[in-house]
Amino acid sequence: MHDALFQPLSIGAIETKNRIMMAPLTRGRSDPGSIPNTMMAEYYRQRSGAGLIISEATGISVEGLGWPAAPGAWSAAQAEGWKLTTAAVHRDGDKIVLQLWHMGRIVHPDFLGGEPGVSASATTAPDHAHTPTGRKPHEQARAATKADIVRIVEDYARAAANAKVAGFDGVQLHGANGYLVDQFLRSGTNLRTDEYGGSAENRTRFMREVLEAIIAVWGADHVGIRLSPNGDSQGCDDGDPASIFGAAAKVLQELKVSWLELRQPGPEGTFGRTDVPQQDGLIRALFKGPLVLNSDYTAAGAATDVANGRCDAISFGRPYISNPDLTERIRVGAEWAPNTNVPKSWYLPGPEGYVDYPALVPA
């Protein structure tokens, strides 16, 4: 069933056994110090079977991580913790990449000793931040200086190097969902008048520099990126998305980035509006590498879009929470378990709603 999804795919140097990917899912189960643990390793092991697992968003620095109990990749201890997960996933020959995350203005000052977060410009995200002491309104970030930009690019490179030490098969740059890279890309959050602001080409400069730094560590054939060209995302928007994401696609093609994942949500999407034109057709015309769509798919819809060439693979997010064996369920045409504990257990500590969902066939 759904044969198109069960063909191998080359994404740069990574060979996947099928075209089903596990999308990044923040779950908040790390140990103090943002250190991955054995429970996280079990969580990812249970979900092996995907052609590629994209890890949950992982902080590149203290400054860039504003989510309670989310993991990091800036220290040797964190790299050691991640080795538990990569070993567990590789045990059955599966592949996993680390998603590199800087949240920018979404980082609340509570994570930074009271100091403001950093962004493309001095702007404030809407709504509330998740902090160790509960939800609090976002506060205004400060505009990154040139020295900040150099330092942050170096932070990405260091985290990418730690991902290699940890045994990942590659990395994905988180450039979506209103976080730092997205804040530089979009005109609504990038108000700069220097070489990092103004024209669409200038607004891609930060993304380009980060990618160049990561590629210097891994090689382009091990580097992917996630973008979300779909209207407002955590207050991050652009008046001409075709221009900015077209410019971004040209950069990815020039740098020979090995794959691109697009978050383009459906009616129940977490990020972004659904009343704006989808940009995947434009981007596919400009970026020739493998394209992965993440759009609240059913199995049938996923198979159709891969079969007709709209994309090369599909990443599934929330269905993997309550279906650790989602790939097998799609293969045999089995029903998907409902997300009965979602969203209640998305970010709670402990194993409940995390590693206790049953598979069709017990491991």
Q: Supply the residues annotated as catalytic.
A: 179
Show the tokens assigned to 213: 């730094």
CA gap 287, 274 in Å, rounded: 23
CA gap 83, 71 in Å, rounded: 13
CA gap 291, 314 in Å, rounded: 9
* DSSP classification of residue 258: S
CA distances from 178 to 173, 182, 289, 295 (A): 13, 5, 24, 17
Which residues are paired to 236 by β-bridges? 233
CA gap 34, 36 in Å, rounded: 7
**Within 102-240, where are the H helices?**
146-166, 180-185, 200-203, 205-218
Q: Which residues of 124-140 are buried (b: 16+ CB within 10 A; e: fewer)?
A: ebeeebbbeeeeeebbe
| DSSP three-state, residue 11 | strand
Which residues are paired to 15 by β-bridges? 10
User: What is the Cα 219 distance to its own chain's centre?
Assistant: 19
The beta strand positions in 32-88, using DSSP E, are: 52-59
CA gap 71, 105 in Å, rounded: 18
Nearest to 22 by CA among 334, 224, 320, 346: 320
CB 43 within 8 A of CB 354: yes
Q: Is 208 exposed, middle or buried (0-12, 13-18, 19+ CB in 10 A)?
A: middle
| DSSP three-state, residue 163 | helix
